[in-house]
Chain A
Amino acid sequence: MSNAVTAVSASPAANDGKSVPARLGEAFVGRLVIIIPYLWLLFFFLVPFIIVFKISLSQTAIAMPPYTPVLDFRDGISGFFAGFGELNFDNYAWLTQDALYVNAYVSSVIIAAISTLLTLLVGYPIAYGMARAPAAIRPTLLMLVILPFWTSFLIRVYAWIGILKPEGLLNQLLLSTGIISQPLIILNTYTAIFIGIVYSYLPFMVLPLYSALEKMDHSLIEAAKDLGCPPTSAFWKITFPLSLPGVIAGCLLVFIPAVGEFVIPDLLGGSQTLMIGKTLWNEFFANRDWPVSSAVAVILLLLLIVPIMLFQRAQARAQEQDR
């Protein structure tokens, strides 16, 4: 039946009953479906990046907005092209000369990479356990993983301050049970940042892992077992490779935003830890240096462009498979 329906509607005869203006009107509505979100994203997502790039090439000025105009159309097209001569790359030179920025970039990437790995190590057993759980309770487990994601990020990070403080709940527990005799200093260290990132981004890791593991055909493992393959090597030879798309998607979902993370290093990392998101924030809000913070953003974006494109490819591929 459905084949017949498709065949009929695919033939031009199906449109015969309609007048030309009506069909044009429909084409116009169809066009609008594309045009409206397209223009919105062009104006509010793509154009802003071009402006960031432009301002990263201007100079700081004591004015509002606090930068000198560059590549301005106010002087007409010729003024625009003449403006190329005035571009200055001082902000970028400044970023490479000052060790603070270089260190901030490097440590952000390292922190994000370590935390991504830790999140994978914590998230994999959870996702695996969920995928092997009885089918009846799986939706509930899934919901329990998603629920924290709906809870405010800021609140979840804030909750850890009370736990990790020197006089906080973790130290109270460890001291009262006699495991330690001196309170552990965790808050305002890199350890606190790792805990914060793993905690906040865990659902992003578990969900793609779970959807990859759930789809897996369990009879493959049983076949391997019947053929005498020990469980550990069956895991590495079958389960893990099959879950690889989930691993990649999860890692990208954690790594990319973690590199530019601001809230976690700011609230849990204290003033001694270095991450680029915090540097950008301080440059903007504390130093009011818009051109330098724009340059910081441009370089951060360049760092992330490859992982972002990988993420997009993975998304597009997943979409094709669902079809």
Chain B
Amino acid sequence: MNATWSRFNITSIVLGFAFLYLPIVLLIVFSFNESKLVTVWGGFSTKWYVSLFHNQGLMDAAWVTVRVGVISATVATVLGTLAALTLTRYTRFRGRVLFSGMVFAPLVMPEVITGLSLLLLFVAVGLDRGFLTVTLAHITLTMCFVAVVVQSRLVTFDRSLEEAAMDLGAPPVKTFFQITLPVIMPAIVSGWMLAFTLSLDDLVIASFTSGPGATTLPMKIYSQVRLGVTPEINAACTILIAVVAVGVIAASVVNKRREVQRQLDEQAAQRG
């Protein structure tokens, strides 16, 4: 390989990652700023974290967000997995084109359209805006992401495993739970995590579909950001980033370990 090319490659990677991470790093650094001015360093302090935990409005919003996230991610994971199975296993049924359209379109649909249309649906059926409507909206959005993640695992799935189980007399439902599900489990877990973080992050759809008493954390952060940048918001953002980063890194470590274990098992099986 040409040396100048690889130097060019390294430079572009370093610059690219600097661009991706510098703003986040700066935001975290300034959450520990003593000064109230977010852009002038006044010494190290954790006082904004203390005041954050005394901010009842933010804490309430955080609690609402976590509940919406857990419930919607769980339901979305079930629905998304079913949708992924439909997409990969049932290649011919009436309305399949429409179905795959409805799975893929929400991935790129501008959030203002999804939010507005869901709100109008809830009004049309007479559902009061609040906790339930945000949760339903988030299920709809995130199940499509789960479907894509699980589907990408299912297409590489070795179906002869299922066939072997069924030949040995296992009924299809049992085969699914004992063979298929364990194999695609890592994808389902990362689908759940993706759904949870998407729900945690969503501002636009939540703003349309939420009602009084169901203000989520992004809505709260947004309304404060509009009034100006404060170190307290930096602190709230830092905690959110930390939660997500720890979750993602932990999941990938667990996945990696499982992968190594599986390879060891396979080698042992081949030797034995």
A interface residue numbers (CB < 8 A to B): 2, 5-6, 8-9, 14, 17, 22, 26, 29-30, 33-34, 36-38, 40-49, 51-52, 55, 65, 122-123, 125-126, 128-130, 132-133, 141, 143-148, 150-156, 158-163, 165, 167-169, 172, 199, 202-203, 206, 231, 252-253, 256-257, 259-263, 267, 277, 280-281, 284-285, 290, 293-294, 297, 300-301, 304, 308, 311-312, 315-316, 319, 322-323
Contacts and interface: CB of A to CB of B under 8 A. Distances in A.
Contacts of A37: 79-80, 82-83, 86, 99, 103, 143, 147
Contacts, number: 265
A5 B20 contact: no
B268 interface: no
B32 to A, nearest CB: 14
Nearest to B172: A26
Which 7 residue pairs across A and B have the least CB separation, nearest first? A260-B110, A48-B117, A125-B12, A126-B16, A129-B9, A159-B23, A37-B83
B116 A151 contact: no
B56 interface: no
B167 A154 contact: no
- What is the interface of chain A mostly: helix, strand, loop, or mixed? helix
Interface of B: 1-2, 5-6, 8-10, 12-13, 16-17, 19-21, 23-24, 26-27, 30, 38-39, 79-80, 82-83, 85-87, 89-90, 93, 95, 98-106, 108-113, 116-118, 120-121, 123-124, 136-137, 139-140, 143, 147, 151-152, 155-156, 160, 163-164, 166-167, 169, 171-173, 194, 197, 200-201, 203-204, 207-208, 218, 221-222, 225-226, 229, 233, 237, 240-241, 244-245, 248, 252
Given A152-B240, A158-B237, A199 B120 contact: no
Nearest to B102: A41
Interface centre among B9, B16, B218, B245 (most CB of A within 10 A): B16
B16 A38 contact: no
B167 A9 contact: yes
B16 A26 contact: no
Contact of A128 (B9, B79, B152): B9
B24 A156 contact: yes
Contacts of A153: 201, 203
Given A6-B163, A154-B221, 19 more contacts: A37-B143, A38-B86, A44-B139, A45-B140, A51-B124, A55-B120, A132-B9, A148-B21, A156-B23, A156-B24, A161-B229, A162-B38, A231-B5, A260-B111, A263-B203, A284-B116, A294-B116, A312-B104, A322-B156
B197 A150 contact: yes
Contacts of A312: 100-101, 104-105
A130 B12 CA distance: 9
Nearest to A263: B203
Nearest to B154: A322
B117 to A, nearest CB: 3
Contact of B151 (A40, A162, A262, A319): A319
Given A147-B248, A168-B39, A231-B5, A41 B99 contact: yes
B116 A169 contact: no
